[in-house]
Structure 1
Amino acid sequence: MKDAKLAVATAKDIERILDEVRFGGFTLVKNYSMVGAELMLYALLNYTYGHSLPVIVEDIFDAFVGYVRHFDVMGLAPPMDHVGVLKVGGIDEVGNVFGKLQFEADPLLYIKKKERAVKEAIGDDPHVYIITGFERLLGFQRDIKSVYAIASHMREELGNEKRLVISIVEGHVIEGFPMNPLPLLEGVATSVIELHDREDLVCLDLKKSVFNILGGTNKLFIRPADVVGWC
């Protein structure tokens, strides 16, 4: 295996990365960075708004609420008019909440309820589906069978050209589980991105990629100010 090339991404490169994300795929973003998840989410909300793509955020146990509060601290204000929020558990609300689901220990019941809620909210219109707090949901699963049920649903959604799925998980949290579900999710995902800190930069490590950028580079370094400036 060749050594990974390193490059500092420009604002144009950031847009090119997002341009490569295709409907019908599942991108898993593993965050190990202090601000990486917030920057990724900030870029996604701005990109989708600029391209007139409706967004559904699945907010599991107030994870999206936490990211939005971090936006406030960072002085960021991404567009939210095109974003619908589906609450799964939790008590706090941000954005345009269109549905609230109680946490279900049975993953099949959870999947059925959330898909019904999304169908009622957006019908068959194409949309970007962002999952926040996925690790919180997985942490409550009682056995590997339940995790497989969730992963199987993600696999069944592959090829759905009406939906682009992006899940942001906190890597240090999920890897602390007695049963780490990450290898299973990575096997299902069409793309896997890891976010790490490197001094004052955020490193995007394309671990499993459908992206074709910068002549085969699989690691990019991004200045947070460039993300904010591009958006």
Structure 2
Amino acid sequence: MKFTEYISRVNPGENVLIEHTSLSDYPLLSYLIGETYGWKRIILVDIIDSSLPLLRWMHLSNIHIPEDITRFKVGGISDWGNVVLEVNPHNDPGIFLSRFSRALRENYLESYSRGVEAITVVMNPERLIPIHNNRPSFIMTLAALPTVFLGDIKRRAFYFVNIDMTHKRYRALLEEAFTRILKIHDDGRITVLKSPSLNEEGTELDPL
């Protein structure tokens, strides 16, 4: 089964965890999500410029994406895209996570009012954990955030997490809560680790 065919089966309200390493082809999958659902539906949550490796890969691969993608900027210095929210991750987590959550809700409602279901792509939230000194309370709060939107039919979400960098507890909490888990291997294979359809678990997907 192709990756694009598989993600088209993801139901509204689901959270999909995509585990990758620093060497795996995760930029390709992020591009395929945009191509599958349409870039105008994408809300890119860019954690500390995690999108820049994707942009470099696309540029070197001669792949072009729209310049006005809706972008939530969580730290970092780049200003590309249509930045509709900018928050400072160094602030009190209760402040910036609350602003972030509220802005997501507003964007979901605005999209849904136009008859469009939002597709949220969150790039590397694990980068926030060292900023807050690996505090267990912050890890729990950060991991709980996506569960607030679980079941919200106005959106579907894809979280990219670098397992070379992430805190073990954070990864475990996400794996427990998310409806689907995909793992991108360094050799290009994509494995379904978790799915609402048990017969899909263990399935390998072709990226193209």
Q: When the two structures are superposed, what TM-score results if normalisation uses the length of structure 1?
A: 0.77
The equivalent of 2:121 in structure 1 is: 130
Matched, 1:195 2:187: no
Q: 2:33 aligns with which of 37, 41, 44?
A: 44
Give CA-to-partner distance per residue, 1:122-145, whole Å, 9 cap, x none. Answer: 544231111012111133233111
Query: Per the alignment, do residues 27 and 216 of structure 1 end up closer, same or farther by CA in structure 2, a change over 3 Å counting?
Result: closer
Q: Check the 8 A contact 1:29/1:166 in 2, yes or no.
A: yes
1:136-151 → structure 2 map (5 Å cutoff): 136-142=127-133, 143-151=135-143
Q: Distance in 2 between matches of 1:57 and 1:88?
A: 10
Query: Is structure 2 residue 174 aligned with structure 1 residue 185?
Result: yes
Cα contact 2:12–2:152 (8 A) shared by 1: yes
* SS in structure 2 of the partner of residue 193 of structure 1: strand
Contact 1:56 1:127 in 2 (8 A): yes
- Specify the SS of the correspondent of 1:93: coil
Structure 1 residues 118 and 153: CA distance shift in structure 2, 3 A: closer
1:5 is matched with none
- For residues 152-191 of structure 1, what are the structure 2 equivalents within 5 Å? 152-174=144-166, 177=167, 180-191=169-180
The runs of 5 or more residues in structure 2 that have no matched partner are: none
> Aligned with 1:148: secondary structure?
helix
- Which residue in the other structure is 1:220 paired with? 204
CA shift, 1:96, in A, is 1.8
Taking structure 1 as reference, are residues 154 and 101 closer, same or farther at Cα in structure 2, changes over 3 Å only? same
Aligned mates of 2:99, 2:92 — CA distance in 1? 11
Residue 113 of structure 1 deviates from its aligned partner by 0.9
8 Å contact kept, 1:62–1:91:
yes
**Aligned position for 2:100:** 114
The alignment yields a C-alpha RMSD, in angstroms, of: 2.4
Compute the TM-score of the two structures, normalised by the length of structure 2: 0.85
Q: AA paired with 2:97?
A: I
Q: Cα deviation per residue 1:137-168 (whole Å; 9 max; x = unaligned)?
A: 13323311111112222222111111211110
| Structure 1: stretches of 5+ with no match in the other structure | 1-8
Question: Which residue pairs with 1:63 in the alignment?
Answer: 50
What secondary structure, in the 3-state scheme, does the structure 2 residue paired with 1:58 have?
strand
Asked if the contact 1:203/1:219 (under 8 Å) is kept, the reply is: no
Conserved? CA contact 2:143–2:170, under 8 Å: no
Query: Structure 1's 53 and 160: CA in aligned 2 closer, same or farther, altered over 3 A?
Result: farther
Distance 1:220 1:122 in 2: 32
In 2, are the aligned partners of 1:105 and 1:140 still within 8 Å (CA)? no
Match of 2:83 among 97, 108, 120: 97
Bigger Rg, structure 1 or 2: 1
CA 1:69–1:88: 2 relative to 1, 3 Å: same
